[in-house]
Chain A
Amino acid sequence: MWGSNARETHPIFFHHVLRALKNGANLYVVDPRVTSTARFAKRHVPVRVGGDIALANAVARVILDERLENRTFIQRATADFEVYQRSLEDYTPEAAQRFTGVDPAIVREMALDFARADRAMICWTLGITEHHHAVENVWALINLALLCGHVGRYGAGVNPLRGQNNVQGGGDMGALPHKLPGFLDVEDPVARGNYERLWGATIPPEKGWTLTEMFRAMEREELRALWVIGENPAQSEADAGHVRELLSRLDHLVVQDLFLTKTAQLADVVLPACAGFAESEGTVTNSERRVQRVRRALAPPGEAKDDLWIVGEMSKRLGRDFGQPTAEQLWDEMRTHSPLHRGMSYARIEALGGIQWPCPDTDSLGASFLHGRLWEEPVRGPRAPFHSVAHTEPAEALCEEFPLRLTTGRRLSEYNTGVQSGSISSPLVRDEALELSPSDFAALGLREGDRVRVRSRRGSVTAPVRVDPGLPKGLVFLTLHQPGRVDTNLLTIEATDPRAGTAEFKAAAVAVERCE
């Protein structure tokens, strides 16, 4: 587990991990904090925030030095290995320690266990992706899997654990700036042409903006109107103060949500929507690419309408009447164009309790392993490339004025900005507080019950304090769950990965002072 506190953020996935541990699996948890996940590990690997690439490269270096790489797999199924091997020259565990903070003996142990395992997998979450070098971080982990052939077969693989119930499905259905429904490329003229004929409309031939690019476009005043569906960027985006200002400056803001969120409060028009999991029909796709049905169990309150209905009516008012198709009709339409989903009728999803893509036809279930082709003889399709990646420091360096590293995460009973989870009256929920290591707590002369002012270059908040013995010296921790109490995103930095558009929620530089 790399950059993931799955015990709290993906508890039922972690049950499967626990079962593997009982069957003798070794668990390494790479995380700057000693999390509740780390307590189940054979070894906690206390990487410094932003040291993931250096650590992964050091692991690779050990594997190669010990000649434990899977030569046959590398030769048959991968590309660019030699360049990658050369790029590891400077990453002995000893040399990398400067960036990773990890004892070379632990790096060696992890490398040997990973390489010698018959089957090994790497799972990660936002600890990997909420950095300005998110994509490089992911490549660094993929390199490790390729090095040992731990991909495309039973019990192996690289797995990002999705943070929301339909992140995967939303992307699969084209809710990405470069994708059409069925995960087809918007810049592919054939795919685009098919949808143009189907919809009787012209689709812009180049990819659109990511969320972060949209905010930049608002800065340039190129983006003047925004329709926000089920998202609360006024509180969930990094550098939230700036985001709120940009949203307020728009000519027109429409927010479609269940609640009058902070974002909805800025809107010109609010469209009350249905709760996807209980008040409407459709599908969602989980982290294992399993498409499952959501169903209506409750009548929606008041004037709330199904998202589908709202989009249909909006389209009608914009001059194109698609009628009011059911979720299933839309799904079937998409299936005719998406080879990944073609075999998934609602009836079949129902009968099988969910189906994983790819599922190209209604007679079979398709391949179990997404990258199983890498083991075919000869390898079908392109070879899987190694990507040489180098260590980069977090965008914001620590300095005399901002000497502490702030990182963010989730807690078990809470979720994102608390819009949904605020209704859970779990005894585990405590008032949000800045967590500090025992040594920083002492160095700042703090006592339980004190309040502190936390400042970054972008804003400041006040918060109560708590000691977390699982934090290393120099690292402080906050969540985004209770923005009404502690507006954490006023502090975070919107330095984003240029490819993924993810902001560096995991690494801001802050100063902490006791409030008198």
Chain B
Amino acid sequence: MREDKRRGRDGGLVQIERMIEVTIDGAKVRVPEGSTLLDACKKRGIDTPTLCFAPNLTPVNACRVCVVELDGARALVPACARTAEPSMVVHTDSERVRSARKMVLELLGSSVDMSATPNFDVWCARYDAHPERLGTPSRAPTVVDNDLFVRDYAKCMLCYKCVEACGADAQHTFAIVVSGRGAHAKIATEFDVSLPDSACVFCGNCVGVCPTNALQFRREHELRVAGEWDESSQSVTKTVCPYCGVGCVLELHVQGDEIVKVTSPSDSSVTDGMLCVKGRFGWGYTRDAK
């Protein structure tokens, strides 16, 4: 759970932010106390690969692709979860870091279909990772059991973000968990029933946080299968949900003359990136009118 740093402009709780200084790749960076090393890297202008991290979820340290080297620490540390402390000296591009990130990318890329993961190719090139030398992912079936979103298990890297978003980090529905152990671990509903028979309320927040597109909106899935999904031609427009008075910020992803996906920015003070079933899927009437 992200700590709530919002505060009133007058009266009430005013939190005083203390700044601390860390050294990243030889340069000093000042960040507010409580920031992570990832925040500090970002401030320094360093692009750090992340997969299991999301700004609106508790870090789970599952993927290890963001590891950095910390002077005085025996092991590499995940930048997304490690809190910055005064005088830390951090290396983000050392031989150890490059080799660890390369290995993570190769292990992931050889066991999971990362083809729809944004930036995966870029990172592989940057770290000279060649997943195919370790093998190719096996095809797991795509589960289509409702009209709103699909589960493409071949793309699931078990980062748990969906479980967190469905559970105590946001939605508190607890419809999905990790079931099985070791190589048999997978994200499943209770007793592995279909989503419509589970506790799922179809908010799509699991889809919203999925880094690999293993969870995909139904319309996106259809377009991808038909070979018509074209992100480069899509526009993204920010607007406000038409249902209820909460005022959730929507990002309408439009391809051609059709809304193909709806997301919410994780830095919105109203939504923290989360939506409900109406906001996420309630735009069909714009299409029906046509």
Contact = CB atoms under 8 A, between A and B. Distances in A.
Given A277-B239, A423-B282, A424-B281, A9 B268 contact: no
B71 to A, nearest CB: 35
- Most chain A C-beta atoms within 10 Å of own C-beta, residue among B11, B237, B284, B290: B11
B9 to A, nearest CB: 5
Contacts of A295: 237-239
A298 B257 CA distance: 6
Contacts of A353: 249, 267-269
A198 interface: no
Contacts of A214: none
Interface in B246-290: 246-250, 252, 254, 257-259, 267-272, 274-279, 281-290
B240 A277 contact: yes
Interface residues of B, number: 64
Interface stretch (A158-166, A333-341, A471-479, A496-504): A158-166
A286 B282 contact: no
B268 A415 contact: no
A166 B271 CA distance: 17
B239 A11 contact: no
Interface string A423-449: 111111000000000000000000000
A301 interface: yes
A369 B11 contact: yes
Contact of B237 (A285, A297, A301): A297
Nearest to B279: A12
Contact of A168 (B245, B288, B289): B245
Contacts, number: 194
B4 interface: yes
Contact of B242 (A168, A275, A354, A413): A275
A324 interface: no
A12 B282 contact: no
A425 B277 contact: no
A210 B168 CA distance: 44
Contacts of B195: 427
Interface in B181-236: 195-196, 200-203, 235
A164 B244 CA distance: 4
Contacts of B259: 278, 297-298
Interface stretch (A15-23, A41-49, A104-112, A314-322): A15-23
B52 interface: no
A265 interface: no
Contacts of A427: 146-148, 195-196, 200, 202
A420 B12 contact: no
Contact of B148 (A18, A22, A297, A425): A425
Contact of B252 (A164, A278, A286): A278
A470 interface: no
A165 B249 contact: no
Nearest to A154: B12
B43 interface: no
A348 interface: no
Contact of B240 (A165, A368, A372, A420): A165
Contacts of B279: 12
A369 B240 CA distance: 23
B104 interface: no
B246 A286 contact: yes
User: Chain B binding site: helix, strand, loop or mixed by DSSP?
Assistant: loop
Given A40-B172, A154-B12, A275-B285, A413 B249 contact: no
A40 B168 CA distance: 13
A121 B54 CA distance: 31
Interface in A235-269: 258-259
B250 to A, nearest CB: 7
A142 B161 CA distance: 41
- Most chain A C-beta atoms within 10 Å of own C-beta, residue among B148, B258, B269, B282: B282
A155 B240 contact: no
A161 B245 contact: yes
A287 B245 contact: yes
A298 B254 contact: yes
B170 interface: yes
A424 B248 contact: no
A161 to B, nearest CB: 6
Given A295-B237, A297-B259, A368-B10, A426 B277 contact: yes
A22 B11 contact: no
B289 A275 contact: yes
B1 interface: yes
Nearest to A365: B9
A105 to B, nearest CB: 28
Contacts of A155: 12-13
B102 to A, nearest CB: 38
Contacts of B235: 297
Given A353-B268, A415-B278, A427-B202, A372 B245 contact: no
A175 interface: no
Contacts of B9: 365, 367-368
Contacts of B8: 154, 368-369
24 contacts: A9-B244, A11-B203, A12-B275, A13-B246, A18-B172, A155-B12, A155-B13, A161-B244, A164-B244, A165-B241, A165-B244, A277-B242, A278-B237, A278-B239, A278-B259, A284-B247, A287-B247, A293-B240, A353-B267, A368-B8, A412-B277, A421-B278, A426-B202, A427-B147
